[in-house]
Amino acid sequence: MTDSTANGEMLTTADGRPLKAALAKAEAHAKRRAFLLVLPLLAFILITFVAPIGQMLFKSVNNEGFTVHEDLGTGVRTPIMTNIAAWFDENPLGTDPGEDAYEALAKDLVVLRELKAPGQAGTRINYELSGSRSMFTKAARKAKKLKPPYKEAILDLDEDWGSPKLWQVMRGASSSFTSNFYLAAADRQRDENAKVVMVNENRQVYVKLFMRTLNLSLLITFLTFVLAYPIAHLLATLPLRHSNLLMILVLLPFWTSLLVRTTSWMVLLQSQGVVNDALVASGILGDENRLQMMYNRTGTVIAMTHILLPFMVLPLYSVMRPINPSYVRAARSLGATSWTAFRRIYFPQTVPGIGAGALLVFILSVGYYITPALVGGADGQLISNLIAFHMQKSLNWSLAAALAALLLGGILILYWLYDRLVGIDNLKLG
């Protein structure tokens, strides 16, 4: 394409500019305008979604508790444990700590005492070796009184200072970046020789919780599908004036607080609750045989199935409503049974809605926190509850971040599998 006509004259705009240049300028202006319109949304996504996830991933491999002390009042950051870190750098893995190592440790304990930071350094080691915090605080209190030979003096304070496991953990903590939190999230640890091994059986918690979360999420997704499919079919086949009224009942839970709905299930499901009282009053159960539906997996499944049911109904309804009922009637008129017409004609057309609803319900149930915490008890809690525990109680934010990162990675893998098997292009949310 050129700016010249057949007789060689240049095509120009009304103000004399070449037409091609004017069109290019107008197109660039339209692109800039479109970008500026999208910019607030892009900034919102970056600030509220991408940045927190990036910070979480960084926190899962970074912990400066053993290497840097930050004064909360002034914000001044001071390197700590520098002498022992230097000894680790100069001596390879497997080197037995001698007098020089304990001398470096004694110097760092003096610094910890002056900065009032022995608890911080001890807490970082305590994440991987229980009981270490008290060792650091006790040794720091007496750090200025330590005299050569330092190894004997420190071992007199606590013989556990000679543990090879302790020195192996301190070596790993001497670097701010570590993969140990991911190992802990997978119920693994490094032994004295830095080999990855499983933790003791009585400490294997996280893998079991991940499996419980996966199993309960799949069960809840299946139950919501079984309940939502006939509801969505009824809404899709009724006249519009009737289906709109029934749709209000589907949307009604969204107008009620999640906490209110969860506590309502607590009232219904407890041993002296409405459900058990009704079963006893009707003679189905004896008073001594009341069902235990609270503080276990049963309560978690029932409450979460009810709460997440609308997220399955709405995508199914959105794909069922446009389906022409004449397709099924045509199949039946050609000799197909009702089941065959449903299986081969109607059901395949609802698969995009099933995929969308299943994806929504599964992802929401995997990360649910409030409902399992209130009605699940110890047996019905999910991995999200343990992440919250490490964030709020144990203050091991790096382990919480590692658990969250593994959960995010698992969801992305399932999302990828869904795209490979079903196709994300076939997903319909409305």
Q: What does the pLDDT read at residue 429?
A: 55
Q: What does the pLDDT read at residue 7?
A: 55
Task: Judge whether residue 301 has pLDDT over 90.
Answer: yes
**More confident of the two residues 14 and 2:** 14
What is the average per-residue pLDDT within 227-256? 89
Q: What does the pLDDT read at residue 4?
A: 52
What is the average per-residue pLDDT within 214-242? 93
Q: What does the pLDDT read at residue 418?
A: 78
Task: Judge whether residue 65 has pLDDT over 90.
Answer: yes
At 10-56, the pLDDT tens digits run 677 777 778 788 888 889 989 999 999 999 999 999 999 999 999 99
Give every CB contact of residue 424 below 8 A, 6+ residues apart in sequence.
Answer: 415, 418
Domains of the chain by residue range: 1-59, 68-178, 206-426
Region of poorest pLDDT, from 4-8, 41-45, 300-304: 4-8
Q: What does the pLDDT read at residue 81?
A: 96
Label residue 90 by pLDDT band (50, 70, 90).
very high
Q: What does the pLDDT read at residue 21?
A: 81
Residue type, 252: L
Enter the tokens of residue 227: 């309940």
The Cα–Cα gap between 344 and 363 comes to 29
Q: What does the pLDDT read at residue 417?
A: 82
Q: Which fold has domain 206-426?
A: MetI-like fold (1.10.3720)
At 130-189, the pLDDT tens digits run 899 999 999 999 999 999 999 999 999 999 999 999 999 999 999 999 999 999 999 998
Q: What does the pLDDT read at residue 201?
A: 87
Region of poorest pLDDT, from 6-10, 92-96, 349-353, 380-384: 6-10
Question: Would you call the peptide bond into 352 cis, given omega within 30 degrees of 0 as the criterion?
Answer: no
Closest to 59 in 3D by CA, of 390, 373, 383: 390
The Cα–Cα gap between 250 and 256 comes to 12
Label residue 193 by pLDDT band (50, 70, 90).
confident
Closest to 128 in 3D by CA, of 66, 48, 51: 66
DSSP string, 137-183: HHHHHTGGG--SSHHHHHHHH-GGGG-HHHHHHHHHHTSSB-SHHHH
Percentage above 70 pLDDT, the chain: 96
Q: How high does pLDDT run on average in the chain?
A: 89
Which residues lie across from 419 on neighbouring strands? none
Angle between helices 258-269 and 274-281 (to 10 degrees): 30
What is the average per-residue pLDDT within 245-250? 88
φ, ψ for residue 176, nearest 5 deg: -65, -30
Q: What does the pLDDT read at residue 2?
A: 47
DSSP string, 223-266: HHHHHHHHHHHHHHHS-HHHHHHHHHHHHGGGGS-HHHHHHHHH
The Cα–Cα gap between 244 and 203 comes to 53
Q: What does the pLDDT read at residue 1?
A: 44
What is the average per-residue pLDDT within 334-355? 90
The Cα–Cα gap between 32 and 55 comes to 30
